[in-house]
Amino acid sequence: MATDPSPVQPQPAPPDSPPASQDENVPVIESNADERQLGMMAHLAGILPFGGFLAPLGLWAAKMGQSAFVEDQAKESLNFQINVTMITVLAAITCAFYVGIVLFPAVVLANAFFCYQGGMAAKEGKVYRYPYTVRYIT
């Protein structure tokens, strides 16, 4: 009959397989509540104007060798803030050509958005990787 289901049924995935959305390059690092809070602060400090890179730099220096999660998230935030600083300088230079008038607010909004995303991911204990980032510090 045409209404009978197909004899081939899709099989469910085994329970021990990793989620399909998990990136292969993102490590899983165990963390406690204090480490998650410091990781969140490393990301959210990037929203502060003219010095968002100082908090991740300080946290990275303070927790180097003590907390793998905080060290990883502080380095990731610091790399992103270095990129944002370079793009902000480029936007300031291009203000003379009126391109920076559009580029500068876009950089500020994108920075705030990605820093918030990173902070919320770190709060949940997830390792966050910023998109479109050149990683100078590995």
Domain ranges, ordered by start, for the chain: 33-123
For 55-89, what is each residue's pLDDT tens digit? 999 999 999 999 999 999 999 999 999 999 999 99
Instruction: Write down the pLDDT at residue 63.
Output: 92
Q: What is the mean pLDDT of residues 123-131?
A: 95
Handedness of CA 100, 102, 107, 51 (dihedral sign): positive
For 72-75, the CB contacts below 8 A with 24+ separation are: 72/27, 72/29, 72/127, 73/38, 73/39, 73/42, 73/43, 73/118, 73/122, 73/127, 73/128, 74/38, 74/39, 74/42, 75/137, 75/138
Residue 126 CA to residue 29 CA, distance in Å, equals: 8
Q: 96: pLDDT confidence band, cut at 50, 70 and 90?
A: confident
For 23-46, what is each residue's pLDDT tens digit? 667 888 988 999 999 999 999 999
How many angstroms separate the Cα of 6 from the Cα of each of 1, 2, 10, 50? 10, 10, 10, 62
Q: 135: pLDDT confidence band, cut at 50, 70 and 90?
A: very high
